[in-house]
């Protein structure tokens, strides 16, 4: 029963969903030993062309070095991946190796779906090369379960043309010297011109669905000195409703309801089209602007600065990682592949192809572009100022509650204390259920 509660869906429903989505047959998922060659299966969420190709290249080079291991990779569209993976886990027929979004660690580990790779990582994973904040995000109950590859990162993008028009100085681009939120608010007020469709700031990528709201909005809580859960993950009470968190929520609400420098509805690509002065966005936005708005140039039309701080300087970390199924019959072979992809050479190959920020400190040092503006901002934030989202089996509820909390205060103009108390009750109820 515990596994069903953790996944938040009964085995019967999971199996039905899997059939509706056309889940892979058992022959695609079961590891096979044929002669002297062992076939291990690997599921991952399919990404862009660069990501897909580099994985294919890594598999080819791994198989060349390890001729007795065959890796059968199944890329699955992002929209379907989580459901298909949970279907396979619940039905007891998962792949040997699986890509896992780090916030899902607590649920999968608590359900017994993941093999602890703690011994492997400590003996052969060169964990001294991985920032402590990143390791914390792949650790559950003092054991490492996942091997990270790259680090996601967000920063403050600012429209230089709108800053110049408002007579504003540009923010510091030193990753260790960010603006305060008060400085950001002052700039947003001077840029704000709603009559002409121009808004000062989008503080956390609007109000979308999925994991985005928790990823972009949790840092605001941390920056004001608040938190989501207690350090041991046992409760949200006293943390998500603390005075520091309430101050963060009030500040966020005021951006929309009092100061009106943020808008609920914005046109497509408002930042690149001159309708938005400040945008908190991800490192991936750099390639988006370069590919889709070639006349909107970094350094000329826009700049990148570190995330704002208040009581603390904090940025979110996390991202897609590799884990091994607890049901694999070939854990040594599976680890060998995971180690290969997440090693120095594997990560270097990956980030040189994708432009992502590597987790390994040694890899980052070897790639000049990552140590130069603007990617150095994402790198330094990730290495020195990052914090992971709570690692708890109740995380799906945590994520949904954070999303609803910010909608309640930002969209509905609800009393921040009442909204926070409601979120605390929902999260603590989920924590209690997950530990039964």
Architecture, CATH, for domain 154-316+393-434: 3-Layer(aba) Sandwich (3.40)
93-145 pLDDT per residue, tens: 999 999 999 999 999 999 999 999 999 999 999 999 999 989 999 999 999 99
Buried b (16+ CB within 10 A) or exposed e, 289-317: beeeeeebeeeebbbbbbbbbbeebbbbb
The domains spanning 2-152+317-387 and 154-316+393-434 adopt the same CATH topology: yes
150-205 pLDDT per residue, tens: 988 999 999 999 999 999 999 999 999 999 999 999 999 999 999 999 999 999 99
Distance CA 257, CA 266 (A): 16
Torsion of CA 45, 211, 230, 105, to 10 degrees: -10
351-372 pLDDT per residue, tens: 999 989 999 999 999 999 999 9
Do residues 29 and 39 make contact, with C-beta atoms less than 8 angstroms apart?
Answer: no
- Where in the chain are the domains? 2-152+317-387, 154-316+393-434
pTM for this structure? 0.88
Mean of per-residue pLDDT scores for the chain:
91
370-424 pLDDT per residue, tens: 999 999 999 999 999 999 999 999 999 999 999 999 999 999 999 999 999 999 9
Architecture, CATH, for domain 2-152+317-387: 3-Layer(aba) Sandwich (3.40)
């Amino acid at each position: 029963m515990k596994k069903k509660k953790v996944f938040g869906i009964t085995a019967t429903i999971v199996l039905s969903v899997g059939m509706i989505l056309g889940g892979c047959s058992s022959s695609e998922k079961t590891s096979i030993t044929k002669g002297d060659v062992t076939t291990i299966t690997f599921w991952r969420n399919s990404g862009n062309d660069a990501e897909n190709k580099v994985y294919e290249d890594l598999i080819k080079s791994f198989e060349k070095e390890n001729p007795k291991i065959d890796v059968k990779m199944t890329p699955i569209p992002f929209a379907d991946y989580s459901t298909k993976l949970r279907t396979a886990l619940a039905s007891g027929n998962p792949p040997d190796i699986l890509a896992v979004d780090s916030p899902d660690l607590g649920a999968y580990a608590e359900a017994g779906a993941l093999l602890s790779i703690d011994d492997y990582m400590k003996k052969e994973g060169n964990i001294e090369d991985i920032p402590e904040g990143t390791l914390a995000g792949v650790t559950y109950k003092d054991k490492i379960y996942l091997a990270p590859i790259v680090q996601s990162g967000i920063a403050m993008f600012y429209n230089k043309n709108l800053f110049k028009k408002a007579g504003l100085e540009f923010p510091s681009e030193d990753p260790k010297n960010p603006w305060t939120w008060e400085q950001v608010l002052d700039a947003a007020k001077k840029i704000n011109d709603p009559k002409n469709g121009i808004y000062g700031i989008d503080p956390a990528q609007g109000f979308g669905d999925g994991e985005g709201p928790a990823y972009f909005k949790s840092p605001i809580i941390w920056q004001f000195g608040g938190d989501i859960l207690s350090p041991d993950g046992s409760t949200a009470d006293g943390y998500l409703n603390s005075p520091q968190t309430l101050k963060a929520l009030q500040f966020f609400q005021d951006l929309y309801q009092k100061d009106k420098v943020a808008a609920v509805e914005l046109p497509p690509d408002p930042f690149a089209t001159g309708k938005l002065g400040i945008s908190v966005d991800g490192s991936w936005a750099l390639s988006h602007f370069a590919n889709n708005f070639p006349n909107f140039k970094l350094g000329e039309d826009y700049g990148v600065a570190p995330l704002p701080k208040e009581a603390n300087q904090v940025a979110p970390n996390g991202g897609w990682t590799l884990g091994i199924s607890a049901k694999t019959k070939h854990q040594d072979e599976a680890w060998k592949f995971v180690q290969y992809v997440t090693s120095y050479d594997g990560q270097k190959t990956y980030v040189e192809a994708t432009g992502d920020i590597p987790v390994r400190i040694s890899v980052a040092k070897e790639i000049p572009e990552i140590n130069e503006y603007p990617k150095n901002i994402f790198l330094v934030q990730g290495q020195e100022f990052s914090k992971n989202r709570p690692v708890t089996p109740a995380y799906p509820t945590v994520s949904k509650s954070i999303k609803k909390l910010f909608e309640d205060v930002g969209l509905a103009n609800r009393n921040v204390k009442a909204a926070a108390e409601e979120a605390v009750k929902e999260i603590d109820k989920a924590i209690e259920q997950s530990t039964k």
